[in-house]
């Protein structure tokens, strides 16, 4: 279920065509979810009804909010008003978009969950456990140097998506950020294992009654409660360096890069505006 949330959250990311994802979300959802659980025809029919309701709500209520924030970001870029405080503000706004979306669909997902059979539940958690195991094994096979290069490459690629080619100074800022950040990979793994264990224990209870739905809804809307204090502290530490990093990147932009960023923002705003029609 969390995978469904993540998929639809892609609507606010620009890694692939926003329009493509939005207009093909029904089959993309099943394509993604099918890796974890095979739904019956009856379950798909129930899910389809909710999916359309979520999309209608999202189009009517959320797209304007996204567009408003993108225009705010555009205004900050144009006015050269990028500071750690403004970066933090915009990231908090994006997180608020996610929370609103999660709060909207989780009650429906919790109501649908009792339809899952024991075999489907077992399949789901086996797939999740296998996915986690494969992920940690791949990470452990990489040397520290390879992890560093992989992280920096991903970060540079993401920045260049918005800014165009980075210069040497900007690539050095990326390298410095890596050294400033505290590792959270193992702590995130522990969190996910713990969280999935809590979900599995709930699904293994004999009754799928109103209490089950209430408990599941709480787990799905409050997963952060299972993050360790150490993880929370490292996240907070890393955020502060992230805010300063993005500020430094912005201050280092050439006029060409600034123009590229504004163009990318305009295109995303246009895409979201067209989806409202």
Arithmetic mean of pLDDT over the chain = 86
**Does residue 11 have a pLDDT over 50?**
no
CB 132 within 8 A of CB 193: yes
186 pLDDT higher than 70 = yes
Residue labelled with tokens 């994802």: 21
Q: Counting beta carbons within 10 angstroms of the beta carbon of residue 152, is it exposed (0 to 12), middle (13 to 18) or buried (19 or more)?
A: middle
Distance between CA 133 and CA 117 in Å, rounded?
Answer: 24
What percent of the chain has a predicted confidence (pLDDT) above 90?
62
Residue 32 confidence (pLDDT): 53
Helix (H) and strand (E) counts in the chain: 13, 0
Q: Could you report the per-residue pLDDT of 198-225, keeping only the tens digit for each?
A: 999 999 998 999 999 999 999 999 999 9
Give 38-81 pLDDT, tens digit per residue: 888 898 888 888 888 988 898 899 999 999 999 999 999 999 99
Cα 250 from Cα 82, distance rounded (Å):
7
| Predicted pLDDT of residue 50 | 86
How confident is the model over 83-129, as pLDDT tens digits? 999 999 999 998 898 889 889 988 998 998 999 899 988 988 898 88
Higher pLDDT, 13 or 240: 240
Domain ranges of the chain: 2-275
Q: What is the pLDDT at residue 136?
A: 87
Q: Token pair of 143, please?
A: 């040397």
Alpha carbon of residue 187 to chain centroid = 18
**Given this model, what pLDDT does residue 102 score?**
87
pLDDT of residue 170: 97
Of 13-22, 150-159, 225-234, minimum mean pLDDT range: 13-22
Backbone Cα Rg of the chain = 21
Q: How far is CA 58 from CA 63, 68, 102, in A?
A: 7, 15, 11
Say if CB 50 and CB 105 are below 8 A apart.
Answer: yes
């Amino acid at each position: 279920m969390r995978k469904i949330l993540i998929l639809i959250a892609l609507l606010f990311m620009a890694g692939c065509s926003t329009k493509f994802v939005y207009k093909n979300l029904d089959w993309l959802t099943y394509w993604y979810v099918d890796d974890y659980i095979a739904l019956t025809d009856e379950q798909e029919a129930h899910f389809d009804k909710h999916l359309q309701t979520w999309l209608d709500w999202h189009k009517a209520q959320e797209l304007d909010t996204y567009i408003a924030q993108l225009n705010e970001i555009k205004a900050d870029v144009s006015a050269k008003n990028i500071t750690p405080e403004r970066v933090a503000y915009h990231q908090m706004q994006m997180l608020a978009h996610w929370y609103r979306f999660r709060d909207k669909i989780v009650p429906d997902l919790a109501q649908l969950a009792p339809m899952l059979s024991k075999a489907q539940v077992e399949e789901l958690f086996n797939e999740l456990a296998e996915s986690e195991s494969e992920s940690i094994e791949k990470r452990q096979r990489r040397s520290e140097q390879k992890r560093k290069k992989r992280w920096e490459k991903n970060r540079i690629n993401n920045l260049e998506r918005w800014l165009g080619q980075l210069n040497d100074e900007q690539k050095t800022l990326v390298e410095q950020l890596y050294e400033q950040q505290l590792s959270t990979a193992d702590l995130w793994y522990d969190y996910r294992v713990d969280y999935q264990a809590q979900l599995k224990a709930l699904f293994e209870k004999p009754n799928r009654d109103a209490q089950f739905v209430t408990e599941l809804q709480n787990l799905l809307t409050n997963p952060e409660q299972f993050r360790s204090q150490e993880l929370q502290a490292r996240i907070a530490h890393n955020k502060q360096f992230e805010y300063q990093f993005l500020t430094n990147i912005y201050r280092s932009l050439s006029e060409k890069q600034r123009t590229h960023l504004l163009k990318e923002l305009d295109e995303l705003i246009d895409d979201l505006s067209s989806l409202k029609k």
